[in-house]
Structure 1
């Protein structure tokens, strides 16, 4: 059993994404106004971040199987800190996108290393429970980040928000040095590094069930990110809420995700990760389909907001279980498995960010993206779990 204090530190280290995205969501329209950029171009700051996250995970995950997790974690936290300084001082939208990409590179490495450390220290349902607790603790970030961003938006603006992120990354760096234990690095030292990395990725790529769980992770998160990327424009522009009101709505939805993750950490020991994953993907798809109908019929705003709440929550049942099941297939290559899992998750998030901003009806566009992603998550989860059941 991993100590809760260590889980809390790992959650903070893996919370780079929610803090670096959700904290500045309330000021996305303001960034576009200052730089004269369209919503689709501003949303590329999200795409760049998640592209960097994907690349960072691909590079660092398998390296940590050879060199160990801690030393790379310290470097990654330092990169995220420097990139945040660049974002805070960016003179234009293109420089901001570049800084965000570098920030994602460091943040992605932190995420994959935190996951791999959990896999080093726990197995089976214990790992699923640990991942769920990690998500529950980490989900406090998207609950409080937009509130912080909403309150900071007016007095200090979007640049001030990035300076706040500089402080956060400094704390992450100190914790990585002082608290996180040295794990991993168990691969054979006689092989060349490039050959070892390639062998690890090849072993992961040949595991069919891994790709089903990867699809559930990527598209389950992709559905959530359709909401994250589009919600500032849907809730503020289409529904007419202020940035501060938006931050409270966003936080309420994030708390729903926290409750789902906590429920999963209790239920997974009783019914197993496979059953909880199936429930999660099915619930997310059904809620997204209802939301699409409500948006298409121009239902009252409270109805659409309630549907959104039930769309976001099931993510807490999906990500912890799909991650535990995927990395549990390849424990000796947990770094490579976690890296590839994180890469496809970041790729899905980066792909949907600009797409949901291209249409002319933001509520419908957002809901349609969530339906498409959640349907693919259902297909991946059921294919992988069915394959495991047949093998038994």
Structure 2
């Protein structure tokens, strides 16, 4: 008889050890939808302007539309999954994603492509928000944090490797081929979910799906000081990663003179750093409190961010930049599992809505990073933005998520 990997709040075994790899691959892939859908086609934007006879500014609407759809989709799908269960809206979202990816590949002009990207984002949102909610359904306490750490094996590499994969695809095919690959990814994941991911939310644990109730749920979450603090800490770290992805190619290749192959190696090494930090976090959970591990990750990130700022401010040699970059980027693997677990810990009955807010904050704040890096241009802009986001994440964690005084109930520190 298989041992159980996770237990619910009532002590019931929920996930067998023999099934955890399957769950990890499926749920990790679901959380990778956004970076894959955004970063894989970014290298093709110059090619697309000519093929679609569109300006750069108009073509950017395909990215803007996707981010808007991702935010709206999560806000809608999260509460729906709390009401009807996770499986139905997840399967519908995956089917919508695969179908709209086909429309993206076949778009004859920019207007239908923008519309198809918006629909594609709605499908991707279901995968992202429901994956986190399923983890909360199946696990609690240190088991939840350990599983979030395991997901870093899959989801942690996506935002780092997606631009590299997209660039390599363009050597073999056009931008339309990138969307064909995304179609296949969505279809394979739909098939895997149908066969390998049963419904984790029983009817007795579901909540009513009414607009007024949904709005009140979001209001309670935003007024919950610990939830908001953990969510903002993770979102600010995510924004630092956005800044790195958007600016590092220019800084490392044009300023520090790395070849494309050398840059790919650095990019990949930082991705491996995220995975290793996530696995280290999984081993330390249970020996140390999640809050302490989150603090350690945020301190590491802040030190790395300040190091990047110093290196870019004084144009220090390349190793003086690469070491703090590795520290900052790798710390994502320790910050995100703990921040997500702590934010969702007290919201088992509204895990879908809580997961939705986590995702919306991540992409709303993360989306600020790219234009901020572009304002000044150059290495110093990257250093300033990454350092500010990393330090801000630590400050938010130390102030907003502070514990209640001894003997004082948690509600007393909620805003």
| TM-score (ref. length: structure 2) | 0.85
Bigger shift: residues 273-282 or 92-101:
92-101
Q: Residue 174 of structure 1 aligns with which residue?
A: 191
Are residue 381 (structure 1) and residue 400 (structure 2) matched? no
CA shift, 1:370, in A, is 1.1
Q: Residue 320 of structure 1 aligns with which residue?
A: 337
Q: Match for 1:155 among 172, 186, 194?
A: 172
Q: How does 1:1-392 map to 2 (within 5 A)?
A: 1=6, 2=15, 3-28=20-45, 31=48, 37=55, 45-91=62-108, 96-142=113-159, 144-184=161-201, 186=203, 193-241=210-258, 243=260, 245-361=262-378, 363-388=379-404, 391=408
Higher relative contact order (CA 8 A, sep 6+): 1
Given that 2:297 and 2:331 are in contact with CA atoms closer than 8 Å, whether structure 1 keeps it comes out as yes
SS at match of 1:329: coil
Task: Give deviations 1:150-172, integer Å, cap 9, x for gaps.
Answer: 32222213332221111111111
Aligned mates of 2:345, 2:163 — CA distance in 1: 33
Distance 1:198 1:30, change over 3 A: same
Given that 1:9 and 1:175 are in contact with CA atoms closer than 8 Å, whether structure 2 keeps it comes out as yes
Bigger shift: residues 85-94 or 327-336:
85-94
Given that 2:22 and 2:196 are in contact with CA atoms closer than 8 Å, whether structure 1 keeps it comes out as no
If you compute each CA radius of gyration, which structure gives the higher value, 1 or 2? 2
Aligned mates of 1:223, 1:44 — CA distance in 2: 23
CA shift, 1:339, in A, is 0.8
Aligned mates of 1:300, 1:90 — CA distance in 2: 46
Distance 1:204 1:78, change over 3 A: same
Bigger shift: residues 334-343 or 189-198:
189-198
Aligned mates of 1:189, 1:288 — CA distance in 2: 42
SS at match of 1:357: helix
Bigger shift: residues 170-179 or 352-361:
352-361
Aligned mates of 2:27, 2:60 — CA distance in 1: 28
CA shift, 1:37, in A, is 4.9
Aligned mates of 1:232, 1:89 — CA distance in 2: 30
Task: Give deviations 1:94-126, integer Å, cap 9, x for gaps.
Answer: 655554443332212211101101100100111
Aligned-pair Cα RMSD in Å: 2.7
How many residues are aligned here? 390
CA shift, 1:149, in A, is 2.5
CA shift, 1:51, in A, is 2.9
Unaligned runs of 5+ in 1: none
Aligned mates of 1:228, 1:288 — CA distance in 2: 14
CA shift, 1:26, in A, is 4.3
Aligned mates of 1:377, 1:336 — CA distance in 2: 22
Aligned mates of 2:360, 2:60 — CA distance in 1: 19
Bigger shift: residues 371-380 or 321-330:
371-380
SS at match of 1:332: coil
CA shift, 1:214, in A, is 1.1
Aligned mates of 1:226, 1:256 — CA distance in 2: 17
| TM-score (ref. length: structure 1) | 0.89
Between structures 1 and 2, the one with greater helix share: 1
